[in-house]
Structure 1
Amino acid sequence: MRTPLTELTGVAHPIVQTGMGWVAGPRLVSATANAGALGILASATMTYAELDEAIQEVKQRTDKPFGVNLRADAGDAAERADLLIKHGVAVASFALAPKKDLIARLKDHGLVVMPTVGAARHAEKVAAWGADLVMVQGGEGGGHTGSVATTLLLPSVLDAVDIPVVAAGGFFDGRGLAAALAYGAAGIGMGTRFLLTSDSAVPDAVKQTYLGFGLDGTVVTTKADGMPHRLLRTPFIEGLAREGVAGRLARTVRRTLDFKRLSGQSWPGLAAEGVRMKRGSDRSWGQTVLAANTPMLLKAGLVEGDTSAGMLAAGQVVGAIEDLPSCEELVRRVVDEAAERLRFLAAM
């Protein structure tokens, strides 16, 4: 299937494995790339040195195109962008809108720039700044998410911009890819579906926990880090809903100390990063302070496998997933099913 996504990025199939923190590491990204889809390396939870090593590891595992997700509000965003340029990474993706000059620098060195947005007005802004394509995530998606369903968000963005649009939120099979293409999208992005593959480094016991949830197994809450976050409805998350202000403050302080140790940053450095995060988003100061919870709570669940003290980001599609295929098997299955659906529609 040739679409603007495949032509821009050089991948074989119009499928993107999204940049999930603690999940989208070299192993998953390279397996996705070798399967012919676009793997996105998640760098928000990595130091600069760790990102350098991770990119090199992906390049050792595959000679196919791949991308790296960057935090646009990170203090060293420009240096990380230079790292992508140095290593010849194909795609730079962003969860927040990157600055116009950063987009221009990446494009000048041949990288494809793909921000992720949750509203048509944000897509218009990054398109005007020179983004090559944009990914839109509907409210069905896992992690930080909005309230508008993909079936409404996608056409609104397609009507608003002239650049290719990748649809995310609620996709897990070939029927979804065919539907997205019918809307006019250039491809689909999948997170939870790639997390639940044999190539994902998430502990097997945690994967089995995911497979045990139905379509009503997720909840959107602001209790974790102050922003709407779609997570598995585990007892830990249910407990957060009942947590008082004092308990939330104590947990935030504890997680902030953990994050400080993990990142190696000084207190002034953390404070400066908080200011940049506040300026680069619509967060309140309270939400900005709570944001330190996110990486450590996700690490506890997705890396350490402690579902009793960590959170597990998940899209609503978790309830429609029943197996753990390899990335190669998954991509082939999605593409074959989409082609069959499109042939059937064409015959009608």
Structure 2
Amino acid sequence: MTADALIRTPLTELTGVDHPIVQTGMGWVAGARLVSATARAGALGLLASATMSLDELEKAILEVKERTDRPFGVNLRADAGDAPKRVELLIRHQVKVASFALAPKQELIARLKDNGIVVMPSVGAARHAEKVAAWGADMVMVQGGEGGGHTGAVPSSLLLPAVLDAVDIPVVAGGGFFDGRGLAAALAYGAAGIGMGTRFLLTSDSAVPQAIKEKYLTFGLDGTIVTRKADGMPHRLLRTEFVDGLETEGVLHRTLGTARRTVSFKKMSGLGWLGLIADGRRMKSSSDRSWSQMILAANTPMLLKAGLVEGDTSAGMLASGQVVGMIDDLPSCDELIDRIVTEAVTRLVQLDSQRVDRTPVQH
């Protein structure tokens, strides 16, 4: 990428990355391998810590630092019982960015900012952006309904301008972005950059099994579904036979499956039963989900692991944005980012050349 093809925005200025592109913190996907490849390519990679124990997170941070000296970030669960410990871990290792899937407490934002860490919560509504901006967040990422995983109902084309109108901090656009046209469009709206999940999952640097990545490439624009049957919250997933089964199976069958997966998640996370219950209570207090839905939420980590790590689509879920239907290759992060920025620059130059002629029309 040549110097004159760089796009400078508040995102690049705040974080120190070369390009206004964020690789989002996808559970089981955004590990050290993908994040370091993203960082080396000049974009902002985010480690997904929700599926890592505290020790695993520290190991992942150190591995990224061994692979690259470029800036990167960590995505945190604001409602996790050990969130303050994870914040201290980021401070100790001088991680550049802390992102959050839910609004972090005001004191956590202050602690991070006091130590020079950029705070970027994700939001799904203008009012959420207003709240975290008032608490001192440096920027926010919006995720439109096109996005994969937990998502809302408002498309990016409406959510983005609503949030831009509501706050005066930089806004990163997520949900439905995969190429240079999308980056140029987001910048035209006034965004500071774009966030992408599915597009980064489908790269050669992603640790997702090759067979699973190739399976993603077979899906069209109608290949995803938003369901509440996995964990009680709207979740955009690929339309696999397993997900179709979730939609049709009875409550008893689903509850028994949830109990088995809760035991598995307990072993994997290192949480004791008291810790797991305490986490559930915190999640319950920060959402309007019922206790039955909170029990279903125990499904998510292990179901995603089965599909994205173990490659077992018969017993696991595959989170995906609608953009899966627009993707047909598996480039490296370096190739992908170069391609996106080059195309965006070309589009922006073309738009700049289409100046409005204000000469009065003669009749």
Shorter chain as denominator, the TM-score bin is over 0.9
What is the TM-score normalised by the length of structure 2?
Answer: 0.95
What SS does the aligned partner of 1:16 have?
strand
Instruction: State the distance in 2 between where 1:140 and 1:81 align.
Output: 30
Instruction: State the distance in 2 between where 1:21 and 1:33 align.
Output: 18
What letter corresponds to residue 254 of structure 1 in structure 2? R
| 2:228 matched residue in structure 1 | 222
Instruction: State the distance in 1 between where 2:14 and 2:287 align.
Output: 28
| Displaced runs of 4 or more, over 2 A | 280-284
What letter corresponds to residue 135 of structure 2 in structure 1? W
1:345 corresponds to which of 351, 358, 362: 351
| 1:28 matched residue in structure 2 | 34
Within a 5 Å distance, the mapping from 1:42-81 to structure 2 comes to 42-81=48-87
Instruction: State the distance in 1 between where 2:255 and 2:38 align.
Output: 39
> Percent same amino acid at aligned positions?
77
Q: Which runs of 5+ in 1 are unaligned?
A: none
1:113 and 2:93 matched: no
Deviation of 1:283 after TM superposition, in Å, equals: 2.3
| 1:203 matched residue in structure 2 | 209
Deviation of 1:259 after TM superposition, in Å, equals: 0.6
| 2:47 matched residue in structure 1 | 41
| 2:337 matched residue in structure 1 | 331
1:268 corresponds to which of 265, 270, 274: 274
1:169 and 2:184 matched: no
Instruction: State the distance in 2 between where 1:122 and 1:130 align.
Output: 13
2:264 corresponds to which of 258, 261, 268: 258
What letter corresponds to residue 235 of structure 2 in structure 1? H
What letter corresponds to residue 96 of structure 2 in structure 1? A
Root mean square deviation, CA, Å = 0.5
Q: For residues 289-337 of structure 1, what are the alpha-carbon distances to aligned partners after superposition, in whole Å with 9 as ceiling and x for unaligned?
A: 1111000000000000001110000000000000000000000000000
2:128 corresponds to which of 100, 122, 125: 122
Deviation of 1:281 after TM superposition, in Å, equals: 2.5
What letter corresponds to residue 226 of structure 2 in structure 1? V
| 2:142 matched residue in structure 1 | 136
Instruction: State the distance in 1 between where 2:344 and 2:288 align.
Output: 37
Of 188-197 and 254-263, more deviation after overlay is shown by 254-263
1:291 and 2:297 matched: yes
Within a 5 Å distance, the mapping from 1:65-104 to structure 2 comes to 65-104=71-110
1:231 and 2:237 matched: yes
Q: For residues 169-212 of structure 1, what are the alpha-carbon distances to aligned partners after superposition, in whole Å with 9 as ceiling and x for unaligned?
A: 00000000000000000000000000000000000000011000
| 1:192 matched residue in structure 2 | 198
What letter corresponds to residue 270 of structure 1 in structure 2? L
What SS does the aligned partner of 2:11 have?
helix
Residues paired across the two proteins, number: 348
Instruction: State the distance in 1 between where 2:65 and 2:58 align.
Output: 11
Q: Which runs of 5+ in 2 are unaligned?
A: 1-6, 355-363
Deviation of 1:288 after TM superposition, in Å, equals: 1.3
Q: For residues 53-81 of structure 1, what are the alpha-carbon distances to aligned partners after superposition, in whole Å with 9 as ceiling and x for unaligned?
A: 00000000010000000100000100000
| 2:25 matched residue in structure 1 | 19
Deviation of 1:282 after TM superposition, in Å, equals: 3.0
What is the TM-score normalised by the length of structure 1?
Answer: 0.99
Deviation of 1:277 after TM superposition, in Å, equals: 1.0
1:313 and 2:319 matched: yes
Instruction: State the distance in 2 between where 1:29 and 1:16 align.
Output: 10
Deviation of 1:146 after TM superposition, in Å, equals: 0.2
**Bigger CA radius of gyration:** 2
